[in-house]
Amino acid sequence: MTFARSDPISDLETLPRMPSWVTSTRAETLEDVAFLSGSALNHLHLVLGRAEVPHALLRDRLALRAAEACVAFSGRSERAGELRDAVHLLRPGDLPGPAGETYLAWRRAVERPVSIKALGRALPAFEPGQIAGWLDAGQGMPVVRAAMVLEAVLTEAPRADVPALILSDIALAQALGWGHLMPLLATGLKRADLRKQGDDLRFACHRALISTVVEVVRLAADLARRATHLKAVAPKLRAKGAGDAVEMFLTRDSVAPSALPLPDRAARRLCDRLVDLGAVRELTGRDTFRLYGV
């Protein structure tokens, strides 16, 4: 007996879709918004369980979005393109600046499995014991734990928005049994929400997660399609080191040709070839100092 071969692009259509009532229902009480955020997180958990989703790439793209939100909270004007430049175009000995440091903190926080040691690398200004103490402040259900950690950090260090949001997402990931941080809260919360406490902060966190998770599910499906296409065209690439280059694109939000494991001219030709094949995009719109991503 023979079986028809599965079409990987068609298979992506089977990714579970967010029920419309999660976003259409108006939640006015803490109990209602908690139910909706729980439903959204459960749906995201199902999506993240699918092998088609490029998890490292998704986390890195979300790290950029979280950094952009945090930079805006601080009153700075840098947006995604400028944050990419601040990190990917750094020369040896250069400093990334405050916005670049924010982006680096999020990238370091998402790239390794959750641990105090890994968090120490992302948040070097804080002692491991202090980080562990803040995480221990979270008790109860996942979103409640995240809100408690957020409040505990900001109570003790009122200007530490970035560490507070990273640690609250860590608390959420730990409560949900995820091995890696998934940046969710920063992009859904408003600046004023960070000064709330108790039930008001919990309500804001629940509400933020509903909107953020909807966007993350859409992004996961989009990246899954793009990653599947990149894998499909990879055999057409003849350059030595192309396989390692493709793996970099599958795990990073953006890549400079100079970072690829090829000579400079070969790296630029490979990037142009991938653009021609519709597998990656040029992200800057510039003729020089270009960055590419899925």
Q: What is the pLDDT of residue 207?
A: 96
pLDDT, tens digit, 9 for 90 and up, residues 50-79 = 999 999 999 999 999 999 999 999 999 999
Q: Distance between CA atoms of 204 and 72, rounded to whole angstroms?
A: 18
Confidence of residue 22 (pLDDT cuts 50, 70, 90): confident
Q: What is the pLDDT of residue 93?
A: 85
Q: Is the pLDDT of residue 2 over 50?
A: no
pLDDT, tens digit, 9 for 90 and up, residues 166-183 = 999 999 999 999 999 999
Q: What is the pLDDT of residue 13?
A: 58
Q: Is the pLDDT of residue 1 over 80?
A: no
DSSP per residue over 120-184, as a string?
Answer: HHH-TTS-HHHHHHHHHT--SSHHHHHHHHHHHHHHHSTT-HHHHHHHHHHHHHHHHT-SS----
pLDDT, tens digit, 9 for 90 and up, residues 204-215 = 999 999 999 999
Q: What is the pLDDT of residue 24?
A: 77
pTM above 0.95, yes or no: no
**146 conformational bin, left if phi > 0, alpha if psi -120 to 50, beta if neither:** alpha
Average pLDDT, the chain: 92
Pull the structure tokens for residue 221: 């499906």
Q: What is the pLDDT of residue 282?
A: 98
Pull the structure tokens for residue 105: 């903190």
Helices (H) and strands (E) in the chain, counts: 14, 2
Q: Is the pLDDT of residue 219 over 60?
A: yes
- Largest Cα–Cα distance in the chain? 66
Q: What is the pLDDT of residue 191?
A: 95
Q: What is the pLDDT of residue 16?
A: 75
Q: What is the pLDDT of residue 5?
A: 43
Across 180-202, average pLDDT = 97
Lowest mean pLDDT among 10-14, 28-32, 101-105, 121-125: 10-14
pLDDT, tens digit, 9 for 90 and up, residues 93-114 = 888 999 999 999 999 999 999 9
Q: Which residues does 142 contact at the CB level (< 8 Å), separation at least 6?
A: 41, 171, 172, 175, 176
Across 247-261, average pLDDT = 97
Q: Is the pLDDT of residue 92 over 90?
A: no
Reference 258, options 250, 269, 267; nearest CA is 267
13: helix, coil or strand? helix
SS (H, E, C) 115-138: CHHHHHHHCCCCCHHHHHHHHHCC
Q: What is the pLDDT of residue 4?
A: 38
